[in-house]
Amino acid sequence: MGFEVRVSEHAIARFKIAAVALATWPCARLIWLATQGGLGANPIEYITRSTGWWTLAFLMITLSITPLRRLLGWPWLARLRRTVGLCAFAYALMHFVIYLWLDQFFDFAAITKDIIKRPFITVGFTAFLLLIPLAVTSTNAMVCRLGGRRWQQLHRCVYAIAVLGVLHYWWLVKKDLREPILFALLLTLLLGARILRVNRAASAAPNTE
Amino acid sequence: MRDSFIADLRPGEITPREVYESRRQFLGRALNGALLMGSGVMGWGAREAQAGVKLQGIRKGAITLKEPLTPLKDVTTYNNFYEFGTDKSDPAQNAHTLKTRPWTLSVEGAVKNPRTFDMDTLLKLAPLEERVYRMRCVEGWSMIIPWVGYSLSELIKRVDPTSSARYVEFISLSDIVQMPQMKHGSLDWPYMEGLRMDEAAHPLTLLCLGLYGEVLPNQNGAPVRLVVPWKYGFKSGKSLVKIRFVEKQPTTTWMRAVPEEYGFYSNVNPAVDHPRWSQAKERRIGEFGKRPTLPFNGYADQVASLYAGMDLAKFF
Q: B64 pLDDT band (50/70/90 cuts)?
A: confident
B217 CA to chain A: closest CA distance, Å?
17
> Which positions in chain B touch A171 (Cβ < 8 Å)?
276
Beta bridge partners of B199: none
pLDDT the model gives residue A207:
57
pLDDT the model gives residue B2:
42
Of the candidates B236, B220, B193, B280, the residue with the CA atom closest to the CA atom of residue B70:
B220
Predicted-assembly ipTM surpassing the 0.95 threshold: no
State which amino acid sits at residue A209: E
Rounded Cα–Cα distance for residues B235 and B254 (Å):
9
Residue among B76, B191, B276, B282 with most chain A CBs within 10 A, to mutate: B276
pLDDT digit string (tens) for B185-229? 779 999 999 999 999 999 999 999 999 999 999 999 999 999 999
Confirm or reject contact between B185 and chain A (CB < 8 A).
no
pLDDT the model gives residue B125:
97
Residue B16 has pLDDT above 80, yes or no: no
> Which positions in chain B touch A176 (Cβ < 8 Å)?
82, 86, 184, 186
DSSP designation for A38:
-
What does the pLDDT average to over A63-81?
Answer: 92
Minimal-distance CA residue of chain A relative to B277? A118
Whether A41 and B73 lie within 8 Å, measured CB to CB: yes
pLDDT digit string (tens) for B154-170? 999 999 999 999 999 99
State CA A200 to chain mean position distance: 26
pLDDT the model gives residue B49:
54
Residue among A175, A178, A179 with most chain B CBs within 10 A, to mutate: A175
What does the pLDDT average to over A93-105?
Answer: 95
Does residue A203 fall inside a structural domain? no
Rounded Cα–Cα distance for residues A161 and A187 (Å):
11
Lowest model confidence (mean pLDDT) among A4-8, A116-120, B42-46, B273-277: B42-46
pLDDT the model gives residue B62:
74
Residue A204 has pLDDT above 70, yes or no: yes
Closest Cβ–Cβ partner in B74, B86, B277 for A118: B277
Whether B276 and A118 lie within 8 Å, measured CB to CB: yes
HEC assignment per residue over chain B: CHHHHHHHCCCCCCCCHHHHHHHCHHHHHHHHHHHHHHHCCCCHHHHHCCCCCECCCCEECCCCCCCCCCCHHHHHHCCCCHHHCCCCCHHHHHHHHCCCCCCEEEEEECECCCEEEEHHHHHHCCCCEEEEEEEECCCCEEEEEEEEEEEHHHHHHHHCECCCCCEEEEEECCCCCCCHHHHHCCCCCCCEEEEEHHHHCCCCCEEEEEECCEECCHHHCCCCEEECCCECHHHCCCCEEEEEEECCCCCCHHHHHCCCCCCCCCECCCCCCECCECCCEEEECCCCCCEECCHHHHCHHHHHHHHCCCCCCCCC
Q: A3 pLDDT band (50/70/90 cuts)?
A: low
Confirm or reject contact between B290 and chain A (CB < 8 A).
yes
B281 CA to chain A: closest CA distance, Å?
10
Rounded Cα–Cα distance for residues B205 and B218 (Å):
21
What separation, in Å, do the N-terminal and C-terminal C-alpha atoms of chain A show?
A: 25
Q: How many CB atoms lie within 10 A of CB B47?
A: 15
Q: B50 pLDDT band (50/70/90 cuts)?
A: low
Residue B41 has pLDDT above 80, yes or no: no
pLDDT digit string (tens) for A144-168? 999 989 999 999 999 999 999 999 9
Report, in angstroms and rounded to the nearest whole number, the Rg of chain A calculated over CA atoms.
19
Residue B28 has pLDDT above 70, yes or no: no
What does the pLDDT average to over A75-92?
Answer: 94
Beta bridge partners of B194: B169
pLDDT the model gives residue A125:
97
Q: Across the beta sheet with B167-172, what order do the strands follow?
A: B115-118, B104-109, B240-246, B167-172, B192-196
C-alpha distances in angstroms, B130 versus B112, B117, B194? 30, 22, 24
What does the pLDDT average to over B141-150?
Answer: 97
A134 exposed, middle or buried (CB, 10 Å; 0-12, 13-18, 19+)?
A: buried
What range does the domain containing A39 cover?
9-197
Whether B285 and A42 lie within 8 Å, measured CB to CB: yes
Does residue A93 fall inside a structural domain? yes
> Which positions in chain B touch A172 (Cβ < 8 Å)?
276
Minimal-distance CA residue of chain A relative to B290? A103
Confirm or reject contact between B188 and chain A (CB < 8 A).
no
Rounded Cα–Cα distance for residues A98 and A94 (Å):
6
Rounded Cα–Cα distance for residues A190 and A198 (Å):
13
pLDDT digit string (tens) for B242-278? 999 999 999 999 999 999 999 999 999 999 999 888 9
> Which positions in chain A touch B289 (Cβ < 8 Å)?
105
Whether A175 and B276 lie within 8 Å, measured CB to CB: no
Residue A148's φ and ψ, nearest 5 degrees, are -50, -45
Whether residue B161 is preceded by a cis peptide bond, meaning omega within 30 degrees of 0, is: no
Beta bridge partners of B167: B196, B246
Indicate the average pLDDT of chain A: 92
Domain boundaries, chain B: 2-307
pLDDT the model gives residue B5:
44
Residue B38 has pLDDT above 50, yes or no: no
> Which positions in chain A touch B258 (Cβ < 8 Å)?
175
pLDDT the model gives residue B127:
96
Residue A8 has pLDDT above 90, yes or no: no
B52 CA to chain A: closest CA distance, Å?
20
What does the pLDDT average to over B308-316?
Answer: 93
Does residue A92 fall inside a structural domain? yes
Q: B37 pLDDT band (50/70/90 cuts)?
A: very low
* Half-sphere exposure at residue B313, Cβ-oriented, CA atoms within 13 angstroms: 4
Whether A42 and B258 lie within 8 Å, measured CB to CB: no
Does residue A3 fall inside a structural domain? no
Minimal-distance CA residue of chain A relative to B288? A102
Q: A175 pLDDT band (50/70/90 cuts)?
A: confident
Whether B276 and A120 lie within 8 Å, measured CB to CB: yes
A102 CA to chain B: closest CA distance, Å?
7
The CATH code of the domain at B2-307 is: 3.90.420.10
pTM of this structure: 0.84
Of the candidates B135, B157, B165, B139, the residue with the CA atom closest to the CA atom of residue B147:
B135
Does residue A44 fall inside a structural domain? yes
pLDDT the model gives residue A209:
45
Q: A4 pLDDT band (50/70/90 cuts)?
A: low
Number of domains in chain A: 1
Name which residue leads in pLDDT, A16 or A175: A16
What does the pLDDT average to over A102-106?
Answer: 92
Does residue A19 fall inside a structural domain? yes
B71 CA to chain A: closest CA distance, Å?
9
Q: How much of chain A exceeds pLDDT 70, in percent? A: 95
What is the torsional sign of CA B94, B96, B102, B107? positive
B303 CA to chain A: closest CA distance, Å?
28
pLDDT digit string (tens) for B105-125? 999 999 999 999 999 999 999
Closest Cβ–Cβ partner in B74, B186, B187 for A41: B74
* Residue B169 neighbours by CB under 8 Å, 6+ apart: B109, B192, B193, B194, B242, B243, B244, B245, B246, B250
